[in-house]
A and B are shown apart, each in its own frame.
Chain A
């Protein structure tokens, strides 16, 4: 059941910013409870070109070279239906989507 709407800040990696044509930080409206899954759902509705870039189209699994961080915590291995920290849900802190550092 959906609750009140929250404005959540998301920081995207460079290549997804250029793909979506946005700056480093975007804001999306997310209905409570605020979870990674719901943030990504909202993000993909607002920026359809991001579908398949952060999580697999079919399995919805996080792509292996990406991680989720917030409030100095690595949330990558949490269940995507887990509640995000209050500071993220309230818009004080962003959810960071980080690409693995790799060269070449």
Chain B
């Protein structure tokens, strides 16, 4: 019987939720890293018991924790994130030059094949790499050194590099996304980077179709179709069929196309999920109804999934890294809310149940499907 492990990062610690393949009865761990913000936890695909966690605090800064036993025990590893060379400046909210300052790790992406190789997306936006299990970190400085770097600006949540996607078919290719610079791709293992924002339209920008400056909230990919990307932008749901070279809007009949999360079904590359949020000014669901929307056509045609989700008086948000899928059949879908609920669907979104209701605000959700 398979086991499913859901890794939940919250504002006040982390939790590990486990169930068998039925995904009906769940065990909730004691809180980990209590009192610290845990922006993200993720397991190595090559060694699922190797987990990494980003633990941070306004008082004590950044820690990276590593587990070798699926999260039962943790060891602090390297926390020295130093920008390569003279950091330079990016644009501040008011348009003035502001020095790059490391604040926290938003996202950890372990390599697909090497448990000791892991990438970290950080605020202020940069990508770091560790080849020794998180003990030491080196910046892949070609990204921040891109010609457009001095023009990048933070979004309301900070200038964060929040999405890191590794191409399973091409070890040199990676995608990243930054709020509010946009999406970028490397084809040479992180030495050089290209903005991939053609087709994005952001009306808050002086030039709505500029090469950079777009507030990309999240990007998702199906591992069997690495050239196809789905994006939840600040406003607009987008897709690209050519590795990000061009994007088309696929918001279709969504009631609002503002949101943060987006993910792809484990077995159906054209089935995607979003959680529409009312607007950039009101970060909660429309009409107090928490609804996941699913498209089985790769976008444009969407259906509301509501069974088991609160359909009145619900004013939570679902943050950008807080949705994930398992790889069982039927595909399980999971998301966490700023109200501390983690919802699970064991049937690809048709029916939902809360695994837990009263955690601290959920920052991230990842899922491991274990044999």
Say yes or no: A51-B79 contact (C-beta < 8 A), given A15-B35, A15-B36, A18-B34: yes
Contact with B along A1-30 (1 / 0, CB 8 A): 000000000000111101100000000000
Say yes or no: A65-B80 contact (C-beta < 8 A), given A15-B35, A15-B36: no
A6 to chain B, nearest CB (A): 26
Say yes or no: A63-B61 contact (C-beta < 8 A), given A19-B76, A52-B79: yes
Q: How far is the CA of A57 from the CA of B35 in the complex (A)?
A: 23
Contact with B along A37-59 (1 / 0, CB 8 A): 00000000000010111100110
- Complex contact A63–B59 (CB within 8 A): yes
Contact with A along B206-226 (1 / 0, CB 8 A): 000000000000000000000
- Complex contact B60–A63 (CB within 8 A): yes
Residue of B nearest to A100 (CB): B59
Residue of B nearest to A13 (CB): B59
**At the interface, is chain B mostly helix, strand, loop or mixed?**
loop
- Complex contact A66–B59 (CB within 8 A): yes
For window 47-89 of chain B, which residues contact chain A by CB distance below 8 Å? Answer: 57-63, 76, 79-80, 82
B87 to chain A, nearest CB (A): 11
A57 contact set on B, CB distance < 8 A: 79-80, 82
- Complex contact A51–B80 (CB within 8 A): yes
Q: How far is the CA of A68 from the CA of B10 in the complex (A)?
A: 30
B50 to chain A, nearest CB (A): 19
Residue of A nearest to B62 (CB): A52
Q: How far is the CA of A27 from the CA of B79 in the complex (A)?
A: 24
B36 contact set on A, CB distance < 8 A: 15
B76 contact set on A, CB distance < 8 A: 19, 49
Q: How far is the CA of A7 from the CA of B62 in the complex (A)?
A: 29
- Complex contact A16–B63 (CB within 8 A): no
Residue of A nearest to B79 (CB): A52
Task: State whether the Cβ of A99 lies closer than 8 Å to any Cβ in chain B.
Answer: yes
Determine which of B58, B59, B61 lies in contact with A52 in the assembled complex, contact meaning CB atoms within 8 Å. Answer: B61
Determine which of B58, B60, B80 lies in contact with A19 in the assembled complex, contact meaning CB atoms within 8 Å. Answer: B60
Determine which of B60, B80, B82 lies in contact with A16 in the assembled complex, contact meaning CB atoms within 8 Å. Answer: B60
- Complex contact B59–A19 (CB within 8 A): no
B163 to chain A, nearest CB (A): 25
Residue of B nearest to A47 (CB): B76
B59 contact set on A, CB distance < 8 A: 13, 15, 63, 65-66, 99-100
Q: How far is the CA of A58 from the CA of B100 in the complex (A)?
A: 14
Q: How far is the CA of A65 from the CA of B63 in the complex (A)?
A: 16
B14 to chain A, nearest CB (A): 13
B79 contact set on A, CB distance < 8 A: 49, 51-53, 57
B34 contact set on A, CB distance < 8 A: 18
Q: How far is the CA of A14 from the CA of B33 in the complex (A)?
A: 12
A16 contact set on B, CB distance < 8 A: 60
A15 contact set on B, CB distance < 8 A: 35-36, 57, 59-60
Say yes or no: A65-B82 contact (C-beta < 8 A), given A15-B36, A18-B34, A49-B63: no
- Complex contact B82–A19 (CB within 8 A): no
Say yes or no: A65-B62 contact (C-beta < 8 A), given A15-B35, A15-B36, A57-B80: no
B337 to chain A, nearest CB (A): 18
Q: How far is the CA of A99 from the CA of B62 in the complex (A)?
A: 15
- Complex contact B35–A58 (CB within 8 A): no
- Complex contact A19–B61 (CB within 8 A): no
- Complex contact B60–A53 (CB within 8 A): yes
B136 to chain A, nearest CB (A): 12
Q: How far is the CA of A49 from the CA of B61 in the complex (A)?
A: 12
Of B61, B62, B80, most A-chain CB atoms within 10 Å: B61
Q: How far is the CA of A11 from the CA of B59 in the complex (A)?
A: 16
Residue of B nearest to A58 (CB): B82
A interface residues with partner B (beta carbon < 8 Å): 13-16, 18-19, 49, 51-54, 57-58, 63, 65-66, 99-100, 102
Residue pairs across A and B with Cβ atoms less than 8 A apart, 21 shown, are A13-B59, A14-B35, A15-B57, A15-B60, A18-B34, A19-B63, A19-B76, A51-B80, A52-B61, A52-B62, A53-B60, A53-B61, A53-B63, A54-B60, A57-B80, A58-B82, A63-B60, A65-B58, A65-B59, A66-B59, A102-B58
Shortest 3 CB-CB contacts between residues of A and residues of B: A49-B76, A53-B60, A65-B59
